[in-house]
Structures are given as C-alpha cells and as structure tokens.
C-alpha cells in the first residue's frame, strides 16, 4: 500500500508485505505446512499482553512441527520523528519477540512469550529548535527514550472435543521511563541478565492477568472472562491496553434454525479503574449489549439491538475533585431484502441508529444523535451492476449539526467474473459549514490462474473545511498478489 499520506514527520503509512501462513504449494511441489513467514511489514499476533495489533517493519517466522510451537519476530515499530507544534515526537523504536511451547493454538497448549523493545536514544536530538515566526525559535523537549521487557505464560485446557475450554495468561513487565537514567544496583537483582532488562532508577514493574472459559454445544455458546491490569504494566507490543483496571465479562449466543434462522446475542461487562488510587476518582462502568437477528428466506431480514453503558463513581478517596455519573444508550435497527428481477440480482437495505448521553454531573455534555441510511445494489446485465448509498447523521447537544452522505458506484465483470473492476464515489458534507469530503476509489481484481490472483486499489480524497488553512488531498495505492492452496 502506497499513499501520499506517508511523510517523514509522521509514523509510516505505506505498507509492503509478503505473507505465507504455510508453505504448501502443490503446483510447485512444495509441502511444508508447519512453517509460516511474514516479511517487510509483519503483523504477528501472540497474546493481548505481549504482541497484538502492531506493525513490525522487519519479519516474523512461525514454526509448528508436531506438538512444538516456536515463533520469532523482530524489526522497527516506530520511526524517528522530529517534533513541531503540530507533530508528535518519537524515537526510533526496535522490538524483538518470541514464543515457545507445546500444543496447537486452538487446542490444549502451554506457551512462554517474551518481548523486548528499546528506543534508539541517538535517533533524535534531546532538544529541537524550529522556526515559529520571524526571528523566533521555539524549543521542544522530546519524550525520553524507553526500554520495555515483557514475559508471559499463556495456556489453554480443552475438553469434550474442544466444546469446553479454560484459558489464561499471567504476564509481568519491566519498563524504563528513561533509558538514559542511571543504573539501579542492588544485590538482590544483580544476578538478573542485563540482556533481558537493565534496571534503572526510572524502572517500574507490574503484572497483568486474564482467565476465561468457553462452552459450546451445537448452536449455543457461553463464555466468562476476568482480566486485571496493573497501573504500571506496559507492553509496547500491544496497540491499546487499559491500565489500572479490573474487568469481568460474560457472553451468550444462540442460533435457532426453525422456522427460519434466528440469532440472539447477549454480552455484559463490568469494569473498575483506578484500583491503586493513582487518580482522584474511581469509575465503575457497566456495559450491556443485546442483539436479535431474524433471517427468513425470501423475505426481508431484520436486526435490532440495544446497548446501555452506565458510568458512576459512588465511592472515592477523600478530597474527590472529579465526579462521573452518566448513562449512554445506543439503539439500532436494520433490514435488508434480496430478490431477483428476471435473472438479475437486486438488494435493498435500510438502517437506523440512535445514541443518547445523559450526564447527571454536567448537563452541557448531554447529547442526542441519530443516523438513518439507505443502500442498494442492482445487476443490469451479466457484466454490469451498480451500488448506491445515502445517509443523514444529526447531532443535537451543545452544538447541532447535520451531516449528509451519498455514494454511487459501478462494477464491471468480464471473462466469467475472473476480472472485476469497480469505480465508487462518495460525497460527505456538513450543513451550515463549508466542510466537504469527496472520495473516489477504483478497484480491480484479476484471477490470472485458478489459484493465482492480483488485486489493485487506487483512492483519491479531497477535503475542504472552514477551519483548515488549506484544502487537504490524499492519494493512496494498494496492491496485492495472492496464491491459494
């Protein structure tokens, strides 16, 4: 993926990746199912506390011979970026990670994970001067370079042909807030290998744990999970992690097949933050989600849901300076209908959602927003079809706004659907304010052989806003090659 959005003063946006989940290619007489590889921009996924959701510009290898599992990954996860009044600063950051254990990931297993990340303190000068006006120089002090090591033991027990399972993870992290700080010496930790982690006077150490269970019987599924993360637990291998929290969740889903498919999904979550009193208030949050889906044949499908979220701070330390007491409610409904006119497929859809926020501490935060959308797809001839969409989003609160969205596209299919090309255009505008966004997207895919295909996408975005000094444009190209076996 290549885009004009990739510039030196931001984190990388372009992506280049070659991924082979297993080396089994009958056409090439290659049969190594226990070996996988990702190179250039790799996205390995280990556990929620070690490596998950980040891009590693380097590579990742995965070995799975028999009951053994060995994975390694390494590369750059953050570009060195000089700061300005509008740009976040960052040191060049490197990361290595690995796991070793026994058992298949989806079955009973036990894995040991390790991660080490460090910033290159020489990649950016400690202070950066830049021009902010005529004969005027401002100075920004950058964030300190960090070091981070994480060790995790993760496992799963599976019973009844994988219908009942228990899984958990216990992780510990050591984090240096400034890798330039003096080394911390103590006879109790002098034995610890500095190649794994070097303790300093800025070091913080903490833990995280999760435990869950799932039960599946036919079309019925039920799950429980508990998770706690300490305030000082840090893992730069994870894209997002709530710290200083305790969370308990439950989920249930049921699918009925008669008289026609009906799905019921229920989830509930209760969480607390500020467990160690590092903030002026402790917040309790309850979130529930209920969804019902009805899918009759030859009739419109229907989906409806409701999700309340309640936040409160009933108890807090003496001298409480902040209060939390609000209710956020989201309701949604959608319907779709697929039918034929002659031999040509048609589909129509409608959706509606409503979101309300009732803040009992500060009524200025009260909010009501709703969205209604229509969409459709129509096949005219065997090789030509079109799709369209339209929507309105209205927000009422301290400020009121109306946002309109429209989209129109055509798709051409040739050579018995082996070559498909689509051109889509989208327009978004906000009433009463000159904020407009236009997106044009061209996508083309070609099945060269039975197992070999290529795909390319080009996208152009134009954005104009009253608050922006200049119009914004972006150009993006994404291409891919796939081989299926």
Residue pLDDT, tens place only, 96-107:
999 999 999 889
Ramachandran class of 319: left when φ > 0, alpha when ψ lies in -120 to 50, beta otherwise:
left
Alpha-carbon distance of 403 to 432, in angstroms, equals 10
pLDDT reading at 354 higher than 60:
yes
pLDDT reading at 211 higher than 90:
yes
- Lowest mean pLDDT of 137-141, 340-344, 476-480, name the range: 137-141
pLDDT confidence tier of residue 377, bands split at 50, 70 and 90: very high
Would you state the structure tokens that stand for residue 450, as one six-digit string? 């039975």
User: Model-level pTM?
Assistant: 0.80
pLDDT reading at 93 higher than 50:
yes
Q: What is the pLDDT of residue 467?
A: 63
- Mean pLDDT of all residues in the chain? 85
Q: Which residues pair with 458 in a beta bridge?
A: 442, 477
Query: How many C-beta atoms lie closer than 10 Å to residue 49's C-beta?
Result: 28
pLDDT confidence tier of residue 465, bands split at 50, 70 and 90: confident
Cis peptide before 259 (omega within 30 of 0): yes
Would you state the structure tokens that stand for residue 295, as one six-digit string? 């899918």
Which of the two residues, 157 and 33, has the higher pLDDT score? 157
Q: Are residues 421 and 411 in contact, defined by beta-carbon separation less than 8 angstroms?
A: yes
Mean pLDDT of 374-398: 91
- Lowest mean pLDDT of 32-46, 146-160, 183-197, 223-237, name the range: 183-197
Alpha-carbon distance of 122 to 125, in angstroms, equals 7
Q: What is the pLDDT of residue 110?
A: 96
Ramachandran class of 4: left when φ > 0, alpha when ψ lies in -120 to 50, beta otherwise:
alpha
Mean pLDDT of 168-182: 92
pLDDT confidence tier of residue 2, bands split at 50, 70 and 90: low
Mean pLDDT of 371-392: 94
Q: What angle do CA 96, 180, 89 make, to 5 degrees?
A: 70
pLDDT confidence tier of residue 319, bands split at 50, 70 and 90: very low
pLDDT reading at 287 higher than 90:
yes
Q: What angle do CA 199, 204, 210 make, to 5 degrees?
A: 120
Mean pLDDT of 19-23: 69
pLDDT confidence tier of residue 129, bands split at 50, 70 and 90: very low
Q: Are residues 477 and 8 in contact, defined by beta-carbon separation less than 8 angstroms?
A: no
pLDDT confidence tier of residue 185, bands split at 50, 70 and 90: confident
Q: Which residues pair with 41 in a beta bridge?
A: 57
pLDDT confidence tier of residue 401, bands split at 50, 70 and 90: confident
pLDDT reading at 65 higher than 50:
yes
**Residue 374 to residues 97, 200, 335, 370, 387: CA-CA distances in angstroms?**
46, 58, 10, 14, 11
Domain 2-483 of CATH type 3.40.50: no
Work out the percent of the chain whose per-residue pLDDT is above 90.
45
Q: Are residues 218 and 229 in contact, defined by beta-carbon separation less than 8 angstroms?
A: no
Mean pLDDT of 414-429: 88
How do beta strands 435-447 and 452-464 pair?
A: antiparallel
């Amino acid at each position: 993926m290549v885009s004009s959005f990739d510039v030196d003063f931001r984190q990388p946006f372009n992506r280049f990746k070659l991924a082979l989940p297993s080396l089994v290619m009958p056409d090439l007489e290659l049969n190594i199912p226990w070996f996988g590889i990702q190179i250039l921009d790799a996205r390995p996924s280990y556990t929620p506390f070690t490596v998950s959701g980040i891009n590693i510009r380097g590579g990742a290898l995965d070995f799975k011979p028999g009951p053994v599992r060995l994975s390694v990954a390494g590369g750059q996860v953050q570009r060195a970026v000089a700061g300005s009044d509008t740009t976040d600063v960052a040191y060049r950051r490197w990361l290595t990670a690995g796991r070793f254990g026994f058992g298949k990931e989806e079955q009973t297993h036990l894995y040991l994970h390790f991660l080490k990340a460090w910033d290159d303190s020489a990649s950016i000068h400690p202070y950066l001067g830049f021009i902010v006006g005529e004969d005027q120089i401002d100075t920004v002090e950058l964030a300190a370079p960090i070091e981070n090591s994480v060790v995790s033991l993760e496992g799963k027990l599976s019973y009844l042909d994988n219908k009942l399972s228990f899984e958990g993870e216990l992780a510990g992290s050591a984090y240096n807030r400034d890798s330039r700080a003096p080394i911390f010496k103590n006879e109790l930790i002098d034995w610890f290998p500095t190649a794994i982690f070097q303790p300093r006077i800025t070091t913080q150490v903490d833990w995280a744990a999760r435990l869950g269970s799932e039960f599946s019987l036919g079309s019925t599924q039920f799950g429980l999970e508990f998770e706690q993360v300490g305030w000082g637990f840090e893992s730069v291998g994870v894209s997002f992690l709530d710290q200083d929290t305790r969370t308990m969740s439950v989920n249930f889903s049921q699918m009925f097949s008669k008289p026609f498919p009906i799905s019921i999904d229920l989830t509930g979550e209760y969480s607390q933050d500020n467990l160690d009193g590092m903030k002026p208030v402790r917040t309790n949050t309850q979130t529930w989600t209920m969804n019902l889906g009805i899918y009759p044949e030859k009739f419109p499908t229907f989906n409806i849901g409701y999700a309340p979220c309640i936040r409160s701070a009933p108890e807090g330390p003496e001298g409480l300076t902040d209060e939390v007491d609000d209710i956020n409610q989201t309701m949604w409904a959608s319907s779709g209908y697929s039918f034929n006119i002659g031999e040509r497929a048609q589909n129509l859809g409608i959706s509606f959602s409503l979101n309300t926020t009732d803040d009992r501490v500060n009524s200025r935060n009260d909010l009501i927003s709703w969205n209604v959308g229509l969409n459709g797809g129509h096949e005219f001839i065997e090789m030509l079809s079109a799709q369209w969409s339209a929507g309105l989003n209205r927000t009422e609160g301290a400020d009121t706004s109306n946002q309109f969205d429209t989209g129109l596209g055509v798709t051409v299919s040739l050579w018995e659907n082996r070559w498909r090309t689509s051109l889509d255009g989208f327009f978004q505008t906000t009433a009463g304010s000159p904020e407009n966004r236009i997106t044009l997207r061209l996508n083309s895919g070609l099945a060269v052989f039975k197992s070999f295909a290529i795909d390319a996408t080009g996208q152009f975005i134009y954005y104009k806003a009253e608050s922006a000094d200049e119009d914004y444009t972006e150009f993006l190209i994404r291409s891919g090659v796939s081989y299926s076996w």
